[in-house]
């Protein structure tokens, strides 16, 4: 059996050097390697894996501008140009005085308020060229970043009526935890299993079953890990949940710890949400003061449990649970071969449950409200509610708590969708549907949704959307397996040919072949899902792609709307 070596302090040591001077020098690498009894190469390999660690000076004010497709359609290009002009810094570089560093980054969880950026990990939203100039002038004049940072709106646009909300209902700290005095760990697991609650991270594995499998493992200690690394472009529900109800996340983790017999929980927080640290740490301190964290937690069986927060460093692949566990242990976030599940061998090689923020929060409500009340909501095969991050061409972007079973049309009406044509469900790794699919319902029986709905109107160019998605996966692939590493590169080159009007019919067939190979042979969900949106679009809009390969250069104004006639005819819509 492979020996598990704990390098968990490594990310924190790298962050300390990064924070001190804005980059990590060779001497820093040597010092950390000596302190942890590692080689220079081992530390260098971890440091260079993560997006937010810089090996050269990156400026006193490090600016990360989100380059997702929603940012692009909201004014990204004008904001980027304004940043270069105002600061005098080149893109992906630093100005001559070392004051400003300008960098692209993937989605930062602010899709409802684009264009958005992080400056020294403080959020700035709804940027315009004028706002950029004002910010740069203020920073030059010594105004602190904290004073300039935006107060982030966290709108919950909709909850089910008649008191049917599960997550966004009145929160009384400790109410769910009071049940611990009446329930054994086995009874907690049984109640969660009875609710049929599934994990809300995208895999939808039953939460109670995962907890039961972990409890049955003979090894101890066991661990509870919260995946707060929502990096799928278009997704921001966990940001809203942690801002508004961090107590619910904490109570869900405590219940999980009690259920599996763990003494330690870890919240893996994406670096893009670093500004949420004070809010989360404050909530943890309050629970320690109330006696719900620490020693001798009130429960039917003796129970000690505490929670710490581990800050990530910028890697979408760490949203995959095994890559996340490697990152927690101070390693490169590379997915594991599926030999063991984390409930068998997880953090430090010991039994571990990994659930996301929404899953823990909903589990706490299940214990508070009861499994029967939870099952009365939703549909027979999809009980309860789910949170959707909705953004794009709509009047009311934000988080929607819907009962499973709501139709696409109902959601579009609630959001004030503006001439909707195309919806991307579950982010770039999900599927695209037409607004003509208004009858389809969000449920496990029909349209599963990992938490993101991006709305695009008829003015948007489908190919541009797909190019953005593919570039995202190419940049975020960890590179450990060939199908994903090579496949995303080849797909991006094929789309480049189509964009230039140089594509052939054979390119479309090769896109399908590579997509099938990636789905079949990639090690983790990133590679398996990277071609989903592209292949799905080719299936749904064949005329659009045929026009791409038969035109000499892209026609002016050629967009998705021009190729929808065949689809409308097929589904009987005029």
pLDDT in tens, 103-126: 999 999 999 999 999 999 999 999
pLDDT band at 550 (very low <50, low <70, confident <90, very high): confident
Residue found by looking up tokens 């541009």 in the block: 464
Please state, in angstroms and rounded to a whole number, the distance separating the CA atoms of residues 74 and 62. Answer: 22
CATH architecture of 386-457: Roll (3.10)
Among 166-170, 172-176, 335-339, 465-469, name the one with the lowest average pLDDT: 335-339
Average pLDDT of span 529-545: 90
First to last CA, the chain: 63
| pLDDT, tens only, 231-280 | 999 999 999 999 999 999 999 999 999 999 999 999 999 999 999 999 99
Query: Which architecture characterizes domain 61-148 according to CATH?
Result: 3-Layer(aba) Sandwich (3.40)
pLDDT at position 52, please? 97
pLDDT tens, position by position, 205-238: 999 999 999 999 999 999 999 999 999 999 999 9
> Given this model, what pLDDT does residue 412 score?
97
The DSSP call for residue 292 is S
* CATH code 3.40.50.2300 for 158-376: no
Show me where the domains of the chain are located: 10-49, 61-148, 158-376, 386-457, 462-571
Q: What pLDDT band is residue 3 in, cutting at 50, 70 and 90?
A: low
Reported CATH class of domain 462-571: mainly alpha
Confidence of residue 442 (pLDDT cuts 50, 70, 90): very high
pLDDT of residue 450: 86
Q: What are phi and psi of 61, to 5 degrees?
A: -115, 110
For 383-397, 447-461, 493-507, 545-559, which range has the lowest pLDDT when averaged over its residues?
A: 545-559
Query: How many Å apart are CA 463 and CA 205, to the nearest integer?
Result: 33
Predicted local confidence at residue 6, as pLDDT: 77
Cβ count within 10 A of residue 557? 9
Mean pLDDT of the chain: 93
Residue 48 token pair: 């260079």
Q: How confident is the model at residue 563 (pLDDT cuts 50, 70, 90)?
A: very low
Predicted TM-score (pTM) of this structure:
0.94
Strands 352-356 and 223-228: parallel
**Which pLDDT score, from 0 to 100, does residue 567 have?**
41
């Amino acid at each position: 059996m492979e020996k598990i070596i704990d390098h968990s302090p490594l990310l924190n040591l790298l962050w300390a050097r990064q924070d001190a001077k804005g980059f990590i020098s060779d001497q820093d690498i040597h010092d950390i390697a000596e302190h942890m009894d590692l080689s220079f190469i081992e530390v260098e390999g971890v440091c260079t894996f993560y997006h937010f660690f810089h090996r050269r000076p990156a400026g006193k004010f490090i600016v990360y501008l989100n380059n997702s497709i929603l940012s692009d359609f909201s004014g990204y290009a004008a904001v980027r140009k304004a940043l270069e002009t105002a600061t005098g810094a080149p893109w992906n570089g630093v100005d001559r005085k070392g004051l400003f560093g300008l960098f692209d980054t993937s989605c930062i969880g602010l899709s409802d308020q684009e264009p958005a950026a992080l400056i020294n990990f403080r959020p700035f939203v709804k940027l315009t060229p004028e706002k950029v100039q004002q910010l740069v002038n203020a920073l030059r004049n010594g105004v602190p970043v904290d004073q300039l940072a935006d107060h982030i709106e966290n709108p919950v646009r909709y909850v089910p009526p008649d008191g049917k909300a599960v997550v966004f209902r009145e929160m009384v700290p400790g109410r769910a935890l009071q049940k611990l005095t009446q329930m054994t760990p086995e009874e907690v697991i049984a109640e969660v299993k009875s609710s049929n609650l599934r994990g809300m991270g995208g895999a939808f594995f039953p939460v109670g079953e995962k907890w039961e499998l972990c409890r049955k493992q003979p090894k101890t200690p066991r661990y509870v890990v919260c995946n707060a690394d929502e990096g799928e472009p278009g997704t921001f529900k966990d940001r809203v949940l942690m801002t508004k109800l961090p107590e619910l996340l904490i109570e869900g983790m405590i219940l999980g710890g009690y259920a599996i017999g763990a003494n330690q929980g870890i919240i893996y927080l994406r670096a893009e949400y670093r500004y949420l640290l004070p809010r989360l740490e404050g909530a943890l301190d309050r629970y320690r003061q109330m006696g719900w964290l620490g020693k001798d937690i009130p429960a039917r069986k003796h129970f000690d449990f505490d929670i710490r927060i581990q800050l990530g460093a910028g890697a979408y692949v760490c949203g995959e649970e095994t890559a996340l566990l490697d990152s927690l242990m101070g390693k490169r976030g590379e997915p594991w071969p599926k030999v063991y599940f984390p409930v068998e061998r997880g953090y430090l090689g010991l039994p571990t449950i990994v659930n996301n923020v929404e899953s823990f929060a909903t589990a706490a409500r299940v214990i508070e409200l009861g499994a029967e009340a939870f099952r009365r909501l939703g549909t027979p095969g999809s009980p309860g509610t789910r949170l959707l991050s909705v953004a794009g061409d709509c009047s009311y972007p934000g988080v929607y708590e819907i009962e499973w079973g709501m139709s696409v049309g109902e959601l579009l009406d609630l959001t004030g969708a503006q001439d909707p044509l195309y919806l991307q469900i579950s982010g770039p790794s999900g599927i695209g549907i037409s607004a003509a699919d208004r009858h389809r319902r969000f449920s496990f029986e029909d349209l599963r949704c990992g938490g993101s709905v991006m709305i695009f109107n008829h003015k948007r160019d489908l190919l541009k959307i797909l190019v953005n998605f593919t570039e995202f996966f190419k940049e975020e692939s960890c590179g450990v397996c060939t199908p994903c590493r090579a496949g995303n590169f080849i797909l991006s080159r094929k789309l480049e040919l189509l964009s230039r009007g140089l594509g052939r019919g054979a390119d479309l067939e090769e896109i399908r072949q590579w997509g099938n190979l990636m789905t079949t042979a990639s090690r983790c969900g990133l590679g398996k899902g990277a071609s989903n949106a592209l292949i799905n679009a080719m299936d749904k809009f064949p005329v659009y792609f045929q026009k791409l390969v038969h035109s000499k250069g892209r026609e002016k104004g050629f967009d998705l709307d021009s190729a929808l006639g065949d689809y409308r005819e097929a589904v009987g819509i005029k």
